Amino acid sequence: MARILGLDLGSHSVKGVVLEAKTKGHMVRGFAEVRRAQEGDRTDTLRAAVQELIGQLPPGHADQVVVALPGPSLTTHALSLPFSESKKIEVALPFEIDSQLPFDISQAVFDYQVVGLKDTDTKEKASDILVGVVRKEELQGLLTLLGELKLDPRIVTHPGLAYQNLLQQYPALFEGQGEGGAVAIVDIGHERTSVAFGRPGTGVIFARTFAGGGRDLSKALATEFQTTVPEAHHWKEQHGAVASAAQGPDAERAAGAFVRGLQPMLRELRPTLKAFTARTRQQVGAVVLTGGTARMPGLAEQLSRDLNLPVRVLALPADTAESIPAAVQPVAAQAYALALRGNAAGAKAPRFNLRRGDLSFKGDFDYMKDKMGLLASFVATLLLLLIAFGVVRNSVLARREAQVDAVLCDTTQRILGRCEKDYNRALSMLKGVESPASALPRMTAVNLLAEVTQRVPEDVPVKFDRIQIDLNRVILQGETDSSKQIDTLSNALKGHSCFKDVRQGKVEKTRDGSKVTFRLDVEVQCPGEQGGES
């Protein structure tokens, strides 16, 4: 059973979900969250937090690690191409995005995900694709840091596309939320907000990340109460609330500050919702919140007013409750979605993975290299077994062939007077006109009698007074009820391939007039036989 670690490298805390993949389904084995130090070098704080996180997760080696690119450094581009073949997309993609980058494309790592297909005037379908781009040095730095902690992620994906498998595998988590068919998953982190638009059961259609999140709320609160950002952040976590959840003068004053802190995020979120509708011609029916900020009481109600849409906080599947309590499920959502991404396979699995080119995942190759000696011994053993099997089989076949030749020689010697070991030649000689076998008749009198009796219809009452059979002729004399039944018997005998001709003799009534007597002369000649004797 494979163990998959979904790792959410947030700027405020790192989260990990361990998923155990089984033959049928999967099971969450553990969840942990570790806060990052807010002072000091960001690389050092991330390293320390991840190291502590690993110690809190269930013991055991992770067979696969999946992460989403942290921070706001990832840029997302939505493109439409007049073809859908992957080879054509990969050729055209560098030219499409080169002009949109503020740096040379040789310094970038990018990948794409097809999110929609459209009919065209040609046979090939057009494709809508999402492209994620990051500087190569930033991705390299992340991989180096994780490598120091003995973590080698197989997949580095887009934080919005991470929710692909959650939408596909658990559509019931998103259904029944408003009038429209599309849902917007808004992951509000500390410094970054990710938005994934999708349809339950289908997957992600559009995604975007932009700067802004919980830190803006803490800054707004610090400004309102003239305090430090760390103190404001601590108060926000302990007492923060908005909308109807804010009770009391201080709470309402803080709620006003939080609303002002939400404005930068809303200035990005509103046009993102409009851009999705304009691009796809689909209305967003509901917003589902995830991320640490989503735990703030009343936030869903406040955003519902601001966006004029139904908004609620995401609840993970019921089977995760034992390992991930309901209170922290919004925080664990992306780590859980990343673990699902690692467990995905087949056509529905997202292809987006920034580990490409010289940054490709080498874990499988290294594993095979370590196992090459053992594999070579297995191959050598298998080869020896195949050789031994071939030798034994050939020896047995040679002995059996010699036995068959001896029997064939003995048979042809007795019948033909000469030994013949070639089967086809011996068979031809035994069937030949001059061979002793050619004198054997194909049909005997016993065979002919059996054929006659089998062909007498059950509904014809007949009594035979005389049956004379030789190899050329069959004579039948008897009595039945009428001349019509004689015709029926005659036609039945003609159905046999060896009864060439059936002729009726004299037909007379019996003395009492209740029966008729008859005689049938049947000429015997089987197909392939000449003359009257065979």
The pLDDT tens digits of the residues spanning 462-498 come to 888 888 888 888 898 889 988 888 888 888 888 888 8
In this prediction, residue 496 carries a pLDDT of 83
Q: Confirm if 205 and 199 have CB atoms less than 8 A apart.
A: yes
Rounded to whole angstroms, the Cα distance separating 472 from 498 reads 10
Rounded to whole angstroms, the Cα distance separating 19 from 215 reads 30
| Strand order, beta sheet including 126-135 | 75-81, 126-135, 108-118
User: Using alpha carbons only, what angle is made at residue 336 by residues 332 and 340, rounded to the nearest 5 degrees?
Assistant: 170
- Amino acid letter, 310: P
> What stretches in the chain show pLDDT beneath 50?
178, 367-368, 531-534
Q: How many CB atoms lie within 10 A of CB 310?
A: 18
Q: Render 289-331 in DSSP notation, one character per residue.
A: EESGGGGSTTHHHHHHHHHTS-EEE----GGGTTTS-GGGHHH
Which DSSP state fits 511? T
Would you state the torsion angle of the CA atoms of residues 228, 233, 234, 235, taken in this order, to the nearest 10 degrees?
90
Name the H helices within 432-524.
445-454, 483-493
In this prediction, residue 530 carries a pLDDT of 52
- 422 SS3 class: coil
Which DSSP state fits 84? -
What digits encode the pLDDT tens for the residues 48-88?
999 999 999 988 888 899 999 887 778 888 888 988 888 99
Q: Render 217-251 in DSSP notation, one character per residue.
A: HHHHHHHHHT--HHHHHHHHHHH---GGG--SHHH
> Which residues have CB under 8 Å from 452's CB, separation 6+?
467, 469, 474, 476, 493, 522
In this prediction, residue 151 carries a pLDDT of 93
Rounded to whole angstroms, the Cα distance separating 116 from 279 reads 11
Rounded to whole angstroms, the Cα distance separating 78 from 318 reads 34
Q: How many CB atoms lie within 10 A of CB 220?
A: 22
Structure tokens at 332: 């664990």
Mean residue pLDDT across the chain: 86
Rounded to whole angstroms, the Cα distance separating 488 from 417 reads 50
Q: Which helix (H) or strand (E) holds 501?
A: strand 499-504
Rounded to whole angstroms, the Cα distance separating 445 from 448 reads 5
In this prediction, residue 220 carries a pLDDT of 96
Q: How far is CA 10 from the centre of its chain?
A: 32
In this prediction, residue 531 carries a pLDDT of 46
Rounded to whole angstroms, the Cα distance separating 333 from 335 reads 6
> Which residues have CB under 8 Å from 172's CB, separation 6+?
200
What digits encode the pLDDT tens for the residues 156-200?
999 988 898 899 889 888 876 545 579 999 999 999 999 999 998
In this prediction, residue 308 carries a pLDDT of 94
- Amino acid letter, 274: K
Q: Confirm if 277 and 284 have CB atoms less than 8 A apart.
A: yes
